[in-house]
Amino acid sequence: MAIEGGKDDAAGGRIRLGMVGGGEGAFIGGVHRIAARLDGEFDLVAGALSSDPDRARASGAALGLAPERSYASFAEMAKREARLKNGIEAVAIVTPNHMHYPAAREFLKRGIHVICDKPLTSTLADARKLAGLAEKSGALFVLTHNYTGYPMVRQAREMIASGMLGALRVVQAEYPQDWLTERLEASGQKQADWRTDPARSGAGGCVGDIGTHAYNLACFVTGLAAEELAADLTTFVDGRKLDDNVHVMLRFSGGARGMLWASQVAPGNENGLRLRVYGEKGGLEWEQEQPNHLWYTPFGEEKRLITRGGAGAGAAAARVSRIPAGHPEGYLEGFANIYQEAARAIRAARDGGKPSADVVYPTISDGLAGMGFIDACVRSSTRNGQWVRL
Indicate whether 1 pLDDT > 60: no
Indicate whether 112 pLDDT > 90: yes
Residue range 334-359, pLDDT digits in tens: 999 999 999 999 999 998 999 999 99
Residues 6+ apart with CB under 8 A from 132: none
Model confidence band, residue 41 (pLDDT cutoffs 50, 70, 90): very high
Task: Please check whether residue 89 is in contact with residue 336, taking contact to mean a CB–CB distance below 8 angstroms.
Answer: no
Q: Based on the number of CB atoms within 10 Å of its own CB, is 51 exposed (0-12), middle (13-18) or buried (19 or more)?
A: middle
Helix, strand, coil % over all residues of the chain, rounded to 5: 40, 20, 40
Element of type H or E holding 172:
strand 168-176
Mean pLDDT score across all residues of the chain: 95
Model confidence band, residue 10 (pLDDT cutoffs 50, 70, 90): very low
Task: Please check whether residue 55 is in contact with residue 65, taking contact to mean a CB–CB distance below 8 angstroms.
Answer: no
Counts for the chain of helices (H) and strands (E), in that order: 13, 14
Residue range 123-145, pLDDT digits in tens: 999 999 999 999 999 999 999 99
Q: What whole-number distance in Å separates Cα of residue 287 and Cα of residue 278? A: 15
Q: What whole-number distance in Å separates Cα of residue 373 and Cα of residue 108? A: 24
Residue range 184-204, pLDDT digits in tens: 999 999 999 999 999 999 999
Q: What whole-number distance in Å separates Cα of residue 116 and Cα of residue 11? A: 24
Residue range 152-165, pLDDT digits in tens: 999 999 999 999 99
Dmax (CA) for the chain in angstroms is 73
Task: Please check whether residue 325 is in contact with residue 310, taking contact to mean a CB–CB distance below 8 angstroms.
Answer: yes
